[in-house]
Amino acid sequence: MSVHQLPGEVWIQVLGYLCVADKHSVRATCIDFRELVDCGLLWKDWTIVLAFPKASYNSPFWEMLRRRKINKVVVRSTRAKDWRQLARCLPSITTVVMERSSQEILDVLKNFTHLKHLAVRCSCTSLLLTASAVHKAERLTHLSICRVQFPSKSIEHLISAFIDFRNLTSLVCHDTELNEECTMTTYLILGCLPRLKHLSLTCGRNVQAVLRHTTPLPVKEAHALSSLELIHCDHSLPQDAMKLLPNLQRLVLIYKYSDKDFVADIWFAAMREDLKAWLSALHRLSTLVIKLGPHVNRYVPNLIHLHIDPWPSCLGTITAEIPQLFPKLQSLKIRGKHVPEEDFLGFQKMADLRYVEMLDSRPQFSEMAAKLQVLTKYRVQVIDSHQRDILDCDCSL
Ligand SMILES: [Zn+2]
């Protein structure tokens, strides 16, 4: 069939069903298909990873990216000249991820005049990241800082840099080696960025029990915050902390320890009590993720999405309880090493359940998955894999 026998819009619809490899095969057949495949509609929300190999990229490559309207880029080069070429060739970029950062490439950021989302990761030397590093600080809505060293280890120093990014709605701040404990960091950040909807933090290291409750709760509630992610969250916030987050819909808790032997029973019991208290204050919670922590034994009637990856020894008891504790679940992700078949098939009791993802599944898992699908008349989709968003860092994996 000739490309001209169908209108362009119809071809775009058809090509939209193809995977990337197939799109590229079609693109290689003739100039007409090359133009069709490079239509921006087919690459909406697409992110490109640029490693800048020695041969670098030629002008047809940049022209192809411009036609596809690519505006999200992950860059793996540390050479400032590559960054300058990127700013020159793709001036409309809105999202930049620096996978390995340095002060030299940070200084090129000003050249990206449309920047809204910035992620800075893995610096070997300390970086001076302030509002003056970007073209317009007030345009930035998403900022992610992960494993980056700063000239000062004081949170006040970082906060003074954040204040100028006043329109931030999402802030990720991981492994920045700041001295402060998590409670103080959280309150200071929420106080200076009132528009924040999503906050992800790595909590301070080795926070001792005596530090808990030493920070008084601020009077003001953070009404905008709907998503909170705490990495290494063991004993990080006081039990009444969630009262300040009345609109929180998503809570992600990733605990520090990977081996129960390191955790005293009393410490573990305290974590369970903290978790119970936090959940009791969150009346709008619809998504809960808990990794390497205690199991949840509190009734959360309106929870829609649950991802639970607890201590292996705890999983056996919780699996059977899930339908009673979370009756409205629509999606469930669970590490499945020790899930008894009877309990797994019990998931059919959740009438709204549509999606089950098993992590770390056993060989006989596909048989169990097929049984659950039959029992739910194929209402529930069961998969055993997980794909991560390339724009996210891997701290919460
Ligand atoms: Zn991270």
Confidence of residue 22 (pLDDT cuts 50, 70, 90): very high
Å from CA of 118 to ligand 1 middle = 13
The two tokens of residue 192 are 């200076």
Residue 28 lies in a domain: yes
Counting residues of the chain whose pLDDT is more than 90, the rounded percentage is: 48
Q: Which residue has the tokens 């056996």?
A: 316
Domain CATH code at residue 7: 1.20.1280
The secondary structure element, H or E, covering residue 20 is helix 20-27
Asked if pLDDT for residue 206 goes beyond 50, the answer is no
Q: Is residue 341 part of a domain?
A: yes
Tell whether 358 is covered by a domain.
Answer: yes
CB 146, CB 120: distance < 8 Å:
yes
Number of H helices, E strands in the chain: 12, 14
Residues 222, 12: Cα–Cα separation, whole Å: 44
Mind listing the pLDDT tens digit for each residue in 46-55?
Answer: 999 999 987 7
Q: From 129, 111, 132, select the one nearest 120 (Cα to Cα).
A: 129
How far apart are the C-alpha atoms of 197 and 391, rounded to whole Å? 18
Domain count, the chain: 2
Residue 199 C-alpha to ligand 1 middle, in angstroms?
12
- Report CA(124)–ligand 1 centroid distance (Å): 15
DSSP state of 147: S
Q: Is residue 275 part of a domain?
A: no
What are the tens digits of pLDDT across the range 219-231?
578 899 999 999 8
**84 CA to middle of ligand 1, Å?**
26
Residue 55 has what pLDDT? Answer: 72
Ligand 1 center from residue 5 Cα (angstroms): 50
Q: Is the dihedral of CA 82, 83, 84, 87 positive or negative?
A: positive
Greatest C-alpha distance within the chain: 75
Share of the chain above pLDDT 70, in %: 88
What is the pTM for the complete model shown? 0.87
- Report how far ligand 1's centroid is from the alpha carbon of 173 (Å): 7
The answer to whether position 19 is within a domain reads yes
Question: CATH code at 378?
Answer: 3.80.10.10
Query: Domain for residue 169, yes or no?
Result: no
- Tell me the pLDDT tens digit for each residue of 67-89: 999 999 999 988 999 999 999 99
CA 363 to centroid of ligand 1, rounded, Å: 32
Q: Looking at this protein, which amino acid is placed at residue 48?
A: I
Compute how many other C-beta atoms are within 10 angstroms of the C-beta atom of residue 138.
12
Q: How far is CA 135 from CA 150, 164, 225, in A?
A: 21, 12, 26
Q: Please report where in the chains the tokens 């006043």 appear, as a residue.
A: 166
Query: Does residue 231 lie within any of the structural domains?
Result: no
Centre of ligand 1 from the C-alpha of residue 301, in Å: 31
In sequence order, what are the beta bridge partners of 171?
143, 199
- How crowded is residue 312: how many other Cβ atoms within 10 Å of its Cβ? 12
Q: Tell me the CA–centroid distance for residue 397 and ligand 1, in Å.
A: 10
Last residue of a domain, one of 12, 27, 42: 42
Q: How far apart (Å, rounded) are the C-alpha atoms in residues 39 and 195?
A: 35
In a domain, 327, yes or no: yes
Q: CB–CB of 236/213 below 8 Å? A: no
* Element at 227 (helix H, strand E): strand 227-231
Domain, as residue range, for 352? 295-386
Mean pLDDT, range 244-250, rounded to an integer = 93
pLDDT of 284: 94
**Rounded-to-integer distance, Cα 79 and Cα 139, Å:** 26
Distance (Å) from CA 252 to ligand 1 centroid: 13
CA distance 88 to 66: 11
